[in-house]
Amino acid sequence: MVQSLDVNIIFFNFQRSILNNKWKLTLEDHMHSAMAVHSIPFLSPDQHNYEDISPFFNETMYAAIIQTIEGMYRFKKPRFPMNTITNILNIIQEVSTKTISRDKGIMHLLGLDLPVQEVRLVKTIIQLIGKLPCKPISDDTNESELGSRYIDPFLRGLFDDPDQSTYLRWTNEMTMEARKNDGLATKNQPDICITSLCGSRSSTNHGFGEVKSAAYDKNHFLLCKDLLRVATFCKDAFDTQNMEAVLRIQAIGRAINFYILLLPANGVYVFIELGKVEIPNNVQGLMKLVMDAPLLLLITDVFERLCIPSVHARNLDRHRPTISETNFKQIFSSSQNRKHLCPLQRYNH
């Protein structure tokens, strides 16, 4: 219940309305509907005013649902000590002005006495110091270089933890869930999996990611398709592995969007945005990234607390199936139009 309203019933009515459409829906401006047919409400700030969802969830109700979910799962940006920020900024400044070498700067960062929560952020900065150019690269960056120079060091610092058998992996192979599902998720695989190992074999997928170069920023159809596809990966992993939550990462150029999939009520999954971060294009730009520390700490806190197997026995009554690709195509058009309104527009530099 939110504001004395039964959100489950309203969402069910929204789902039913999708099936009553006379014409096929376009993906770009019906992203909420595309998620809803998989039993997933899509929650992201300022995304209430799309024609498919606005008759059912007005701005006040939509914001209240987000606030309720954030409170239920304790989404709160932690305080980042000012003295730690100052120390890190000073080191970055010395590296960017070549007062000290990169190696020396990395040694200084390693020497900081920090609590466990802040170590991941420093690991990310260390990874990026070793990869970022002194000045922005003016040439267009393809997906391979985007991944190796920017995305990988950033995400690896946050999520890769070999001591805990957790690995950020780049893979085009079929995920464990996709092998078991003949629906939308089987046709294309995510670029990134965050996987834990049991011995030498994959045991649990905690998160998935998709990477596109900034050249695709205006291809709304492709970006929506990516978001939906990986949302279904998250849902299938959630169901088959009996998870508390699954992380979803979408990189468009150097702009990174973080989402998490949850199941707060029977048959109603939630796909909620945690926040957006832009990876800097040179060493000096790391100073801006440090100012995003509270958001990054929130993301790692949510990942560590929630993206884990549930301690409760699996309850099939709470889950809903992922619809097949064939059924999906009966509802949604494959036509593309970049003029369509799109909730995923990003501006990358």
Q: Give the model confidence (pLDDT) of 245-265 as tens digits.
A: 999 999 999 999 999 999 999
pLDDT at 348: 42
Number of domains observed in the structure of the chain: 2
Provide the 3-class DSSP secondary structure of residue 303: helix
The lowest-confidence range among 101-105, 155-159, 205-209, 335-339 is: 335-339
Q: Are residues 158 and 120 in the same domain?
A: yes
- Considering the domain architecture, whether residues 100 and 28 belong to the same structural domain is answered as no
Residue 201 placed within a domain: yes
Q: If we measure between CA atoms, which residue out of 257, 250, 297, 256 comes closest to residue 279?
A: 256
pLDDT tens across 121-172, in order?
999 999 999 999 999 988 777 888 899 999 999 999 999 999 999 999 998 6
Residues 121 and 251 reside in one and the same domain? yes
Residue range(s) defining the domain that contains residue 34: 7-74+325-331
Same domain for 199 and 282, yes or no, is: yes
d(CA 300, CA 310): 18
Nearest Cα residue to 274 out of 97, 12, 43: 43
Same domain, 191 and 215: yes
Task: Report how far residue 177's alpha carbon sits from residue 232's, in angstroms, rounded to the nearest whole number.
Answer: 10
Q: Looking at this protein, which amino acid is placed at residue 158?
A: L
Residue 340 pLDDT level (bands cut at 50, 70, 90) = low
The verdict on residue 340 lying in a domain is: no
The beta strands (E) that lie in 22-104 are given as 42-43
Query: Is 157 domain-assigned?
Result: yes
2 domain-assigned? no
- Is residue 4 pLDDT above 60, yes or no? no
